[in-house]
A and B are shown apart, each in its own frame.
Chain A
Amino acid sequence: MDEIMFEKYDKMLFTPGHRACPGCGATIAVRAILEATGPNVFVVSPTGCLETFTAQYPYSPWGVPWLHVLFENAAAVASGVEAALKKRGLADKINIVIIGGDGGTHDIGLGALSGMLERGHNLTYICYDNEAYMNTGVQRSSATPVGASTATSPIGSQSWGKERPKKNLPAIALAHGVPYVATASIAYPKDLTRKVKQALAIRGPKYIEVHSPCPIGWGFDSSQTIEIAKLAVNTGLVPIYEAFQDQPLKVRKLPKRVPVNEYLRQQKRFRHLVDGQGDETHVALIQAIADDNVRRYGLA
């Protein structure tokens, strides 16, 4: 049995059998990313879902060298890996990709990420954005969208969920003057693979944010991950684009826009806004964010 397993999975870069939840968006992202990198890659991950479900000693689905250090420093750790590869004469032979969640990227790891982007390392940082701290039980992060109910932004008589809009980290990354920033969605894995390949072809620091729905944290059936991801894009709430230096933004156009209501009502985290009498004021506010994205990014 062991031999059969070995033959089947030895050459895979990311095997089945890990501990991710059914319907996990992050695993779709990881497979699309490794499709782009091939085996010549070192992956660095911060603490988070991906780390937890792929690295419980002595098991691992990783078929590529993988390094986890702490929660808030993956970008710094990868900077050191790159420096060491330079000294070992391997910098041009091995790609380095960081894959981390929104908590480790938007919040606690932002300082290290900013340092990495500013210093100009030849690294590709990819955030799988599931819009909250899922590993610890769905607490709000700065990537949680406005209105979402989480364990630390619960609804109540004085609360309609998270009060502040989502942090625009791609824009922050772009403000560092880096050569490539892109957004993607696990709804479109081929697009993600292409963008990772594009990033690897450019020298310098790159940032890619991948919208990755979480059935447990958002409250939808695990069979619906891709559908939810598509809906998010098609409302305009998650603009999909590529930003190169000194070039106009390349965006994924939305021929048939969907009202945000369609997206919100399929997730438990937003249900308080749409159930019963609903909360028209706040739904309108979220619709305005989508409309603003359409104007700002030219999605129409």
Chain B
Amino acid sequence: MAKGKLSVMEGSMAIAQAVKACRPAVISAYPITPQTHIIEFLAQMVANGELDAEYIRADSEFSAASILAGASATGVRTYTASSSQGLLLMTEMIYHLARTRLPVVFTGTNRQITAPIGLQPDHQDTMSFRDAGMIELYVEDVQEAYDTHLQAFKIAEDHDILLPVMVCMDGFVLTHVFEPVKTFEQADVDAFLPPYEPIHFLSLDKPMVFGSGTDDVNTMEFHYMNHQAVLRARDKIETVAREFETSFGHYRGGLIDTYATEDAEVILVAMGSIIGTLREAVDVLRAEGVKVGLVKVRSFRPFPAEALRQAISHAGAVAVLDRALSFGYQGVLATDVKTALYDAPVRPLVLGLMAGFGGREVNLDTVRQIVKRTQRALDEGRVSNETEFIDLKTETMPKFRVVT
């Protein structure tokens, strides 16, 4: 049954409304562009008495995440949002939240990392938490961002999971855009997302010690259990997406999304808001007779290796569009895609391409160029292991040189 009310609103307002509907008990945040509108809208909701949450204006992003660790360990639902340097400053806490199994929900509004300082979206900030032990979901439009926040709390707080979840959405492109968004009645959200029921929390009834040290006798087992929880999230993410569909009438979720892949010779693999552009480009190129398809990686951790193998193994060549780079090796997503394919009986050529890195625009012409490059690889029957940079302006680099 389809539910909800369609209205045009800013992406940040949609997030604030989703978070409000999830009834977090404690919110803590520190301002950073482009996350600010989200935490401003939430502050106004609290100020108006529309949202009954403790809202703590922290002295840093690191403190914000620490405050939520304390709140979550005391057994309540918690939320924060940050971006770029703010997320990096939270890094020590993000690892800690994952390893202590505290289900804090984050919005990561993607923004490039300093230096150089800048505001444009790429994925270097959030993808740096690849190994933290948390769940990361990337969304392509405002509706998916809204829907995913409702699902995020349900996934995070599930007793089989108990992990922090970060909903990653490209800054400005999704946070500051105005789009039609279907939002849901509070009663319907309450029915989908019941109150958080913590298992272990600070309590006088049963005094417990939280945050003990371990040595070589126990540490690996804790890490193993954390790893298993992230792996279990592969099923949970799908289950929650189907429960969401049952509750609200549309399916937005899962580990990956495929578009025109069945007979595709070339498949593009990407994450985030760039997917919208790629869908349009696939339509245009298909109309021109190019057999191109698209896979959206929605869940970066857990990584959907099996789903990806099924979706792309049959293609001739795959182009991974990366917005985060492991400097000195390859694009971060490309590395994972190649690893996932290694065990496949038949595997396509995989091109790792930096596209949209540092916020560089990816438009129809860029996609044409990428598809042509991929077709050339297909014709040649080989690819290089070296990452290629799309639209790299080699002529400007000599001007940047400070060391000769």
A residues lining the B interface (CB < 8 Å) = 39-40, 42, 44, 51-52, 54-58, 60, 62-70, 72-73, 76-88, 94, 111-112, 114-115, 118-119
By the criterion CB–CB under 8 Å, are A69 and B96 in contact? yes
Chain A residues near B209: list those with CB within 8 A. 54-55, 60, 62, 65-66
Chain B contributes a number of interface residues (CB within 8 A of A) equal to 42
By the criterion CB–CB under 8 Å, are A51 and B202 in contact? no
- B59 close to chain A: CB less than 8 A: yes
By the criterion CB–CB under 8 Å, are A65 and B208 in contact? yes
By the criterion CB–CB under 8 Å, are B26 and A84 in contact? yes
By the criterion CB–CB under 8 Å, are A77 and B204 in contact? no
Question: Could you say which of B57, B63, B215 contacts A111, with CB atoms under 8 Å apart?
Answer: B63
Q: How long is the Cα–Cα vector from A87 to B76 in the complex, in angstroms? A: 8
Give the distance to chain B from A162, nearest Cβ to Cβ, in Å: 28
**Residue of B with least CB distance to A112:** B63
Chain B residues near A76: list those with CB within 8 A. 58-59, 62-64, 66-67, 70
Q: How long is the Cα–Cα vector from A67 to B93 in the complex, in angstroms? A: 14
By the criterion CB–CB under 8 Å, are A112 and B66 in contact? yes
Chain A residues near B218: list those with CB within 8 A. 57
By the criterion CB–CB under 8 Å, are A83 and B210 in contact? no
B residues lining the A interface (CB < 8 Å) = 25-26, 28, 53-54, 56-60, 62-64, 66-76, 78, 92-93, 96, 100, 202-204, 207-215, 218
**Residue of A with least CB distance to B28:** A80
Known: A65-B203, A88-B75. A115 touches B69 (CB 8 A): no
By the criterion CB–CB under 8 Å, are B26 and A119 in contact? no
Question: Could you say which of A40, A67, A94 contacts B210, with CB atoms under 8 Å apart?
Answer: A67
Chain B residues near A67: list those with CB within 8 A. 70, 73, 202, 210-211
Chain B residues near A69: list those with CB within 8 A. 66, 69-70, 73, 93, 96, 100, 211
Chain A residues near B58: list those with CB within 8 A. 76, 115
Chain A residues near B78: list those with CB within 8 A. 80
By the criterion CB–CB under 8 Å, are A40 and B204 in contact? yes
Give the distance to chain A from B14, nearest Cβ to Cβ, in Å: 25
Known: A83-B67, A94-B204, A119-B57. A70 touches B92 (CB 8 A): yes
Chain B residues near A44: list those with CB within 8 A. 70
Known: A40-B204, A86-B54. A80 touches B67 (CB 8 A): yes
By the criterion CB–CB under 8 Å, are B74 and A80 in contact? yes
By the criterion CB–CB under 8 Å, are A39 and B204 in contact? yes
Chain B residues near A77: list those with CB within 8 A. 66-67, 69-70, 73
Known: A77-B66, A80-B68, A111-B60. A64 touches B207 (CB 8 A): yes
**Residue of B with least CB distance to A54:** B209
Chain B residues near A94: list those with CB within 8 A. 204
In the complex, 20 of the A-B residue pairs with CB atoms within 8 angstroms, ordered by the A residue number, are: A52-B213, A56-B212, A60-B212, A64-B207, A65-B202, A65-B203, A68-B212, A69-B69, A69-B73, A76-B64, A77-B66, A77-B73, A79-B67, A80-B26, A83-B54, A83-B70, A87-B54, A88-B76, A112-B59, A112-B62
By the criterion CB–CB under 8 Å, are A84 and B74 in contact? yes
By the criterion CB–CB under 8 Å, are B71 and A83 in contact? yes
Give the distance to chain B from A100, nearest Cβ to Cβ, in Å: 13
Chain B residues near A82: list those with CB within 8 A. 70
Question: Could you say which of A40, A51, A62, A70 contacts B93, with CB atoms under 8 Å apart?
Answer: A70
Q: How long is the Cα–Cα vector from A115 to B72 in the complex, in angstroms? A: 19
By the criterion CB–CB under 8 Å, are B56 and A111 in contact? no
Give the most central of A39, A68, A83: most B CB within 10 Å: A83
Q: How long is the Cα–Cα vector from A83 to B53 in the complex, in angstroms? A: 9
Give the distance to chain B from A41, nearest Cβ to Cβ, in Å: 9
**Residue of B with least CB distance to A73:** B66
Give the distance to chain A from B101, nearest Cβ to Cβ, in Å: 13
Known: A65-B207, A111-B63, A119-B56. A80 touches B69 (CB 8 A): yes
Apart from A69-B211, A87-B25, A87-B53, list 12 A-B contacts with CB within 8 A: A62-B207, A67-B70, A67-B202, A69-B70, A70-B96, A73-B66, A73-B69, A79-B56, A79-B67, A80-B67, A83-B70, A87-B54
* In the A-B complex, the 3 residue pairs with the closest CB atoms: A80-B70, A115-B59, A68-B211
Known: A70-B66, A80-B74, A84-B74. A51 touches B56 (CB 8 A): no
**Residue of B with least CB distance to A56:** B213
**Residue of A with least CB distance to B59:** A115
Chain B residues near A51: list those with CB within 8 A. 211, 213
Chain A residues near B54: list those with CB within 8 A. 83-84, 86-87
Q: How long is the Cα–Cα vector from A118 to B58 in the complex, in angstroms? A: 10
Chain A residues near B68: list those with CB within 8 A. 80
Chain A residues near B69: list those with CB within 8 A. 69, 73, 77, 80
Chain B residues near A81: list those with CB within 8 A. 70-71, 73-74, 202
Chain A residues near B100: list those with CB within 8 A. 69
Q: How long is the Cα–Cα vector from A135 to B96 in the complex, in angstroms? A: 21
Chain B residues near A55: list those with CB within 8 A. 209, 211-213
By the criterion CB–CB under 8 Å, are A73 and B63 in contact? yes
Q: How long is the Cα–Cα vector from A86 to B25 in the complex, in angstroms? A: 9
Give the distance to chain B from A60, nearest Cβ to Cβ, in Å: 4
By the criterion CB–CB under 8 Å, are B56 and A80 in contact? yes
Known: A57-B218, A83-B71. A42 touches B202 (CB 8 A): yes
Chain A residues near B203: list those with CB within 8 A. 65
Chain B residues near A70: list those with CB within 8 A. 66, 92-93, 96
Chain A residues near B204: list those with CB within 8 A. 39-40, 65, 94
**Residue of A with least CB distance to B206:** A65
Give the most central of A73, A77, A80, A111: most B CB within 10 Å: A80
Q: How long is the Cα–Cα vector from A51 to B28 in the complex, in angstroms? A: 26
Give the distance to chain B from A88, nearest Cβ to Cβ, in Å: 7
Q: How long is the Cα–Cα vector from A94 to B205 in the complex, in angstroms? A: 12
